[in-house]
């Protein structure tokens, strides 16, 4: 890993995403966007005709899915092009143009659901009996009529489609500010080595430096830039929350939480169960923090100590070796799964691997019907990067199997189930390495990655952010102001409770943590990280225990997509997230890791 992050132009193409497999050039993308907009009438022409006959409805669905798929591909290409280099002004312009296209398509197809409701369930059931091709849309129609009371008239739905782009701009504004415009102070370690601070290397490299003063300097450099722009960042988030309140009221829901979870047929008790179970198990986290405190020889620990190395010798895992180890851990799922992973990583270029200047922070997987699901990350040849790769491959394989087995309208599986597949891969990889490796150093670092990185993010930060999100939305619903200082105070208080008595609180920097999570711009998304990791461990435990058909059940989950409600899809795979059991089971797994870590550290 170079200490100086290269510009995008200097990255080996072998380790960049296969953009040309989607569009041969940016010009080809531009031509397709123009054609998509020109073809909008192909769907609009069905307006007022959906109830004519089963044959007409089949053709309407085909036109709807075709336009939606093409829109998704073009939007993904523009978004990914921008994400790998946010300083590329051409890519930024493409992303904005794609956003406008999405708004036009959303407006054009907005008549579909209100008109289907006007046709009525009885007539649509007759159509399904008359033409078997409509069976693929049976769940879509069932879900539509379930939500009937919250679907507005064609005119209102058209307006909601038209405003989706301008009301969705708060995330883009924040992303451009933090990824393209932010410039952080460089820092030096105790050997005099200078490190740039970027979105790509802050989490995975700088917070893992052994030099505490260097970690603190990197943390200060990073968070001070967010604090400097706290009012702009708070304004963006506040208006995004107000947009959620607006949509909740337009669709006549009683709360933003209820509106968000209602869409997926998830009771609000799932959200509250998670928060209550998390708070009940905070002593488990306090025990882990105490172990870290002793291992680092500190009297109190700070936020920037969470990723500090306990072992002096880091286990190096080059990218290609990581692919091998991931495939070994996932072998119980069969050769189709592992062979696809190898092709994805080594020959088909699903992964944009290494950091470069302007690359957006974090990692994600993004796919569209008819393309490879692509992964953005900043690989650093370390344990945490291998785990991140396994995680994002879980997302990509979920998209891959869903795409192979579902119609376009059922491909877009929900955010609620998305984090199950990703964390499942990590749980399987971890279990494989802990069982088969005799390297004490590797085991320690693997557990530190599991608890101190993965679980800390998904099972500590995300539930804390879920509490923050619920409170901020409830304040907005009551008409209370959301200022930078009020958001900082709320976040600091929640983390103070979570970290416990030995935490060295830097209120302004710690309280600004919410601004480093763009996930908060996706309405009530962060809680699903915690429910997702819980579902993942419950399902992986079934396979690790050797339960009959456990692997087949899990593959069935990957193939199901959005063909049923997410809770039902998970129940068929073997986990019930309407109860706290999976959350408790995951805390038990975490306690097992902590026991082993304590034993390894003596």
Q: Average pLDDT of 335-358? A: 97
**Residue range 159-191, pLDDT digits in tens:** 877 777 777 778 888 888 898 899 999 999 999
Residue percentage of the chain with pLDDT more than 90:
84
**Residue range 520-548, pLDDT digits in tens:** 988 899 999 999 999 999 999 999 999 99
CA distance linking residue 202 with residue 78, whole number of Å: 25
CA distance linking residue 228 with residue 80, whole number of Å: 28
List beta partners, residue 187.
Answer: 195
Contacts of 466 (CB under 8 A, 6+ apart): 271, 274, 275, 524, 526, 527, 530
C-beta neighbour count of 118 within 10 angstroms: 14
**Residue range 378-387, pLDDT digits in tens:** 998 988 899 9
**Residue range 566-599, pLDDT digits in tens:** 999 999 999 999 999 999 999 999 999 999 999 9
Contacts of 516 (CB under 8 A, 6+ apart): 223, 226
Q: In this predicted structure, which of 47-51, 329-333, 446-450 has the lowest mean pLDDT?
A: 446-450
Q: Quick check: 226 and 233 in contact, CB under 8 A?
A: yes
CA distance linking residue 329 with residue 2, whole number of Å: 29
List beta partners, residue 194.
Answer: 188
Where in the chain are the domains? 8-167
Q: Average pLDDT of 334-360? A: 96
Name the phi and psi angles at 194, rounded to 5: -90, 135
Which pLDDT does position 2 carry in this prediction?
A: 43
**Tokens of residue 493, six digits:** 């208080």
Residue 142 has pLDDT above 50, yes or no: yes
CA distance linking residue 410 with residue 160, whole number of Å: 22
Q: How far does Cα 336 stand from its chain's mean position? A: 25
**Residue range 236-260, pLDDT digits in tens:** 999 999 999 998 999 889 999 999 9
**Residue range 84-132, pLDDT digits in tens:** 999 999 999 999 999 999 999 998 898 998 899 999 999 999 999 999 9
Which pLDDT does position 1 carry in this prediction?
A: 44
Which pLDDT does position 3 carry in this prediction?
A: 57
**Cα distances (angstroms) measured from residue 265 to each of 260, 331, 578, 600:** 9, 34, 11, 44
**Residue range 465-519, pLDDT digits in tens:** 999 999 999 999 999 999 999 999 999 999 999 999 999 999 999 999 999 999 9
pTM for the model stands at 0.86
Which pLDDT does position 153 carry in this prediction?
A: 78
Instruction: Decide if 392 is catalytic.
Output: yes
Q: How far apart are the first and last CA of the chain?
A: 32
Which pLDDT does position 410 carry in this prediction?
A: 93
List the catalytic residue out of 157, 158, 382, 392: 392
Residue 313 has pLDDT above 90, yes or no: no
Task: Answer yes or no: CATH 1.20.140.70 is held by domain 8-167.
Answer: yes
CA distance linking residue 238 with residue 468, whole number of Å: 13
């Amino acid at each position: 890993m170079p200490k100086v992050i290269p510009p995008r132009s200097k990255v080996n193409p072998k380790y960049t995403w296969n953009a040309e497999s989607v569009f041969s050039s940016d010009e080809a993308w531009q031509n397709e966007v123009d054609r998509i907009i020109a073809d909008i009438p192909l769907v609009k022409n069905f307006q007022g005709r959906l109830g004519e006959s089963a044959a007409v409805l089949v053709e309407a669905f085909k036109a709807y899915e075709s336009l939606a798929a093409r829109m998704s591909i073009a939007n993904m290409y523009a978004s990914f092009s921008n994400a790998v280099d946010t300083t590329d002004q051409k890519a930024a312009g493409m992303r904005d143009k794609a956003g406008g296209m999405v708004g036009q398509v959303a407006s054009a197809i907005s008549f579909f659901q209100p008109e289907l409701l006007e046709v009525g369930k009885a007539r649509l059931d007759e159509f399904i009996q008359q033409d078997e091709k409509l069976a693929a849309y049976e769940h879509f129609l069932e879900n539509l009529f379930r939500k009937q009371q919250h679907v507005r008239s064609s005119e209102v739905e058209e307006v909601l489609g038209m405003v989706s782009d301008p009301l969705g701009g708060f995330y883009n504004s924040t992303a451009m500010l933090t990824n393209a415009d932010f410039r952080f102070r460089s820092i030096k370690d105790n050997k005099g080595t200078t490190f740039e601070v970027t979105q790509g290397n802050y989490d995975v490299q700088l917070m893992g430096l052994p030099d505490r003063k260097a970690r603190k300097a990197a943390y200060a450099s990073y968070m001070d830039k967010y604090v400097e722009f706290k009012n702009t960042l708070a304004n963006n988030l506040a208006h995004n929350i107000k947009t959620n309140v607006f949509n909740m009221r337009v669709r006549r829901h009683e709360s933003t939480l209820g509106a968000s979870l209602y869409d997926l047929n998830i009771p609000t008790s799932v959200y509250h169960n998670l928060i209550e179970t998390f708070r009940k198990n905070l002593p488990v986290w306090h025990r882990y923090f105490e172990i870290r405190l002793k291992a680092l020889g500190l009297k109190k620990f700070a936020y920037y100590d969470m990723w500090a190395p306990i072992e002096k010798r880091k286990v190096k895992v080059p990218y290609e070796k990581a692919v091998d180890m991931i495939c070994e851990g996932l072998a119980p799922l069969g050769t189709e799964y592992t062979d696809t992973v190898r092709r994805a990583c080594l020959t088909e270029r699903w992964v944009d691997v290494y950091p470069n200047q302007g690359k957006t922070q974090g990692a994600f997987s993004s796919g569209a019907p008819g393309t490879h699901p692509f992964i953005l990350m900043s690989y650093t040849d370390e344990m945490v990067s291998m785990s991140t790769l396994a995680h994002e491959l879980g997302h990509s394989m979920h998209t891959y199997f869903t795409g192979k087995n579902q119609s376009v309208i059922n491909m877009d599986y929900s955010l609620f189930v998305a984090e199950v597949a990703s964390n499942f891969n990590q749980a399987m990889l971890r279990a494989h390495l802990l069982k088969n490796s005799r390297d004490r150093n590797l085991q320690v670092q693997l557990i530190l990655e599991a608890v101190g990185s993965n679980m800390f993010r998904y099972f500590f930060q995300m539930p804390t952010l879920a509490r923050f999100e619920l409170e901020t939305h409830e304040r907005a619903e009551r008409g209370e102001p959301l200022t930078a200082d009020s958001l900082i105070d709320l976040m600091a208080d929640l983390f103070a409770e979570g970290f416990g008595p030995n935490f060295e609180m830097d209120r302004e920097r710690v309280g600004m943590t919410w601004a480093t999570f763009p996930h908060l711009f996706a309405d009530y998304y962060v809680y699903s990280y915690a429910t997702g990791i819980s579902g993942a461990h419950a399902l992986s435990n079934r396979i690790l225990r050797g339960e009959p058909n456990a692997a087949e059940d899990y593959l069935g989950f990957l193939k199901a997509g959005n063909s049923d409600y997410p809770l039902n899809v998970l129940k068929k795979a073997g986990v019930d997230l309407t109860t706290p059991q999976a959350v408790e089971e995951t805390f038990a797994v975490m306690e097992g890791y902590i026991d082993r870590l304590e034993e390894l550290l003596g």
